[in-house]
A and B are shown apart, each in its own frame.
Chain A
Amino acid sequence: MIRIEPRENPSRAFAIGIPILSAVISLALAAIPLLAAGANPLTAYGEMIKGVFGSVFALSEMLTRATPLIFTGLAAALAFRAKLWNIGAEGQLYLGAMAAVAIGSGYLDAPGIVLLPLIILLGAGAGAAGMMAPAYLKVRFGADEVVTTLLLNFIILIFLQMMLEGPLQDPMGLGWPQSAPVLDQGMLPPLIERMRVHSGLIIALVLAGIAQFMLARSVWGFKLRAVGENAAAARHAGINVNRSLFGVAAISGALAGLAGVSEVAGLKGYLTSDLSPGFGYTGIVVAMLAGLSPAGVVVAALFIASVFVGADSMSRAMGVSSFLADLVVSMSLLCVLVGGFLAKYRILRTREAVS
């Protein structure tokens, strides 16, 4: 007979050890699909490491990839802390990106010191609005935000295509569904000469720091955690639960919107409908690997970005499909989920059945 009982004091070592172990296990499990694809796993791992750490360029690519994942990871981590299931970061990302090109690609020809903050604020605002709507439907009508945010992702993507073939289309773009480029002074400056890594990364890191501090130390963070742990008890203790939910919805949406701003105004320069290869969804994995801690999000985003960039590079060298990266990422989510169980509970063998 097997019995499961909660651990008295979930240890801190578990909180850090389990995500690391999950990352290692998911990478090790990747050997199976690699073998199935007829590749030597050791060579493949070597190519992946080279593709991430082999040169300054490779490292810059990894940091570039990590930047939007820090934003979307934070968006998921904060919302999930309050048990607000924002699965709509993908859509909110595009709302932020649309706002950025709407104001930034010629509509307002202001100096950079005005234009850039405006782009950032509008992008964050658009993302926030994109999460306030499902939060309102949840509070007012009891409509499950998982479903509404998921469906909104599809609605926003179609809306994006409409905008890119309509008001936002580049008149000089020869009919391609893409926006006009963001004005030079509206772009986030690059961090290293001739490399793609840009100052969006600095914004992401600063916001992660602020989020970490606010969550752990502020009254706002305390209320947020209380709402997430037990909404009924929080309400009883006089916390305005709905206000907390709207607050975290706005912040979560704004962070996802900033991912879009950072991709458009930091990296691509213009907007197309394939701006994000699922950064919104991957942000959920980042947040879970991070144990919903903002500081952890940074580390987890670096890991996931390494997997993607490494797998891309390995794919080019060895001809194995780069979908391998998605496999590793999804397996790491499942591993960390199981690991979370082992941290919280002990599995005991007992002689007889317990009643």
Chain B
Amino acid sequence: MMDLLNILLSESFWAASLRIATPLIFGVLGALICERAGVLNLGIEGIFVVGAMCGWMAVWLGAGLWGGVLAAAAAGALFGLLHAVLTVPLGLSQHVSGLGITLFATSVSYFTYRTALPNVSSPPRIEPFKALDIPLLSDLPFLGPVLFQQTALTWLALLMVALVWYVMNRTALGVAIQAVGDNPDSVDAQGLSVYGLRIGAIVAGSALMALGGAFLTMSAFDAFFFGMVNGRGWVCIALVIFASWRPGKALFGALLFGAFDALQVRLQTEMGALVPGQVFLMAPYILSIIALVIAARSADYPRALLTPWFKGQR
């Protein structure tokens, strides 16, 4: 028990929690925007891979770190656009299209990586984002190491939470996006474009998802590996239901998940002799399922989620 308390009180634990939560914050926000507009985006897992690969490759080719971030977002937006075209004007199955996007985006990324680097045994490394050292603030006890020694991408993720919250709750655009996910007929009656709003939301959401992937290769690690996304996208789909499609709760959910994941790594080193390490590795996925089961009954789904809408058909 003492050990657990020590872990929970340590700065490094909370710093790690926030670090692990960062890609999930991007992913949950992205999924939240798509689903608020009424479209499930199961392409998320593949869009993470594309973001990770494109961000890394852009930096490796000399575009600079922020160039990499832009490249990742653009690639994510492109695959989002493909999902949007298939699911919005064509109204095709959002499940199947999303899975198709995941398979397509993943294989495009892997093929591109393999073709660009045919004969490398150890993946080439880039110089990743460094921790932002903010004078004075970084020296604060506890908060300093936890908050002010994160990389710029973690800050960007936190900024995005605020931005998405603001747009969704305080702007006409946000109201329109939510309306198009609840009652597209009413949006159409007001003379707004249902297609435009939904496509725009999916493209923007997918760009955010890709940043989650970019964080993996440009901040958490410094190289691209096959299988590095490892289900993080799917975890985001569970977390967005847990968060009831609210940006604030999405941040909370991602942090909770990050804390749990950081905890299991530490418990694993403490108790590794007693319990097989895999038990701890499983824990985050099990936690996601439990979170989903708890939240599912009371979940206030966007009412038009999964329902295609065609102009001129009531």
Give A residues with C-beta under 8 Å from B: 3-4, 33, 36-37, 85, 87, 137, 141-144, 146-148, 150-155, 158-159, 161-162, 165-166, 281, 284-285, 288, 319-321, 323-324, 326-327, 329-331, 333-334, 337-338, 340-341, 353-355
Assembly CA distance A353 to B299 (angstroms): 38
Given contacts A146-B42, A154-B285, A158-B285, 4 further A-B pairs with CB under 8 A are A3-B312, A162-B278, A284-B99, A338-B86
Q: Which of B107, B234, B299 contacts A150 (CB 8 A)?
A: B234
Q: Which of B100, B241, B285 contacts A334 (CB 8 A)?
A: B100
In the assembled complex, B114 has its CB within 8 A of some CB on chain A: yes
Q: Which of B96, B108, B289, B299 contacts A337 (CB 8 A)?
A: B96
Binds A, one of B145-153, B253-261, B290-298: B290-298
Q: Are A142 and B118 in contact (CB under 8 A)?
A: no
Query: How far, in Å, is A70 (CB) from chain B's closest CB?
Result: 19
Residues of A within 8 A of B209 (CB): none
What residue of chain B has the Cβ atom nearest to residue A335's Cβ? B100
In the assembled complex, B155 has its CB within 8 A of some CB on chain A: no
Q: Are B279 and A337 in contact (CB under 8 A)?
A: no
Query: How far, in Å, is A79 (CB) from chain B's closest CB?
Result: 12
Q: Are B293 and A137 in contact (CB under 8 A)?
A: yes
Give B residues with C-beta under 8 Å from A: 42, 82, 86, 90-93, 95-97, 99-101, 103-104, 106-108, 110-111, 114-115, 118, 230-231, 234-235, 237-238, 241, 276, 278-279, 281-282, 285-286, 288-289, 292-293, 296-297, 299, 310, 312
Can you list 14 A-B pairs, Cβ within 8 angstroms, ordered by A? A33-B111, A141-B293, A141-B296, A146-B42, A151-B231, A152-B285, A154-B231, A158-B278, A162-B278, A321-B110, A321-B111, A333-B103, A337-B100, A341-B92
Return the 9 tightest CB-CB contacts between A and B, nearest first. A326-B107, A321-B114, A330-B103, A162-B278, A330-B104, A323-B111, A142-B296, A333-B100, A143-B296
Q: Are B312 and A354 in contact (CB under 8 A)?
A: yes
Residues of B within 8 A of A151 (CB): 231, 234-235, 238, 285, 288-289
Residues of B within 8 A of A353 (CB): 312
Q: Are A162 and B276 in contact (CB under 8 A)?
A: yes
Given A321-B114, A333-B103: A147 touches B96 (CB 8 Å cut-off): no
Assembly CA distance A33 to B113 (angstroms): 12
Residues of B within 8 A of A4 (CB): 310
Q: Are A148 and B279 in contact (CB under 8 A)?
A: no
Assembly CA distance A274 to B271 (angstroms): 28
Residues of A within 8 A of B310 (CB): 4
Given A161-B278, A323-B111: A288 touches B96 (CB 8 Å cut-off): yes
Q: Are A327 and B111 in contact (CB under 8 A)?
A: yes
Query: How far, in Å, is A177 (CB) from chain B's closest CB?
Result: 11
Residues of A within 8 A of B281 (CB): 158
Mostly, the B contact residues are helix
Q: Are B285 and A144 in contact (CB under 8 A)?
A: no
Given A158-B278, A158-B281: A37 touches B234 (CB 8 Å cut-off): no
Q: Are A327 and B278 in contact (CB under 8 A)?
A: no
Q: Are A141 and B297 in contact (CB under 8 A)?
A: yes
Point out which of B107, B288, B299 has the most chain A C-beta atoms below 10 A from its C-beta. Answer: B107
What residue of chain A has the Cβ atom nearest to residue B40's Cβ? A146
Residues of A within 8 A of B99 (CB): 87, 281, 284, 333
Assembly CA distance A85 to B276 (angstroms): 32
Q: Which of A143, A161, A338 contacts B289 (CB 8 A)?
A: A143
What residue of chain A has the Cβ atom nearest to residue B114's Cβ? A321
Given A137-B293, A155-B286, A159-B278: A323 touches B238 (CB 8 Å cut-off): no
Q: Are A321 and B115 in contact (CB under 8 A)?
A: yes
Residues of B within 8 A of A150 (CB): 231, 234, 237
Assembly CA distance A337 to B281 (angstroms): 36
Query: How far, in Å, is A48 (CB) from chain B's closest CB?
Result: 15
Residues of A within 8 A of B91 (CB): 341
Given A142-B296, A143-B296, A152-B289: A285 touches B241 (CB 8 Å cut-off): no
Q: Are A330 and B107 in contact (CB under 8 A)?
A: yes
Assembly CA distance A152 to B103 (angstroms): 18
Residues of B within 8 A of A323 (CB): 107, 110-111, 114
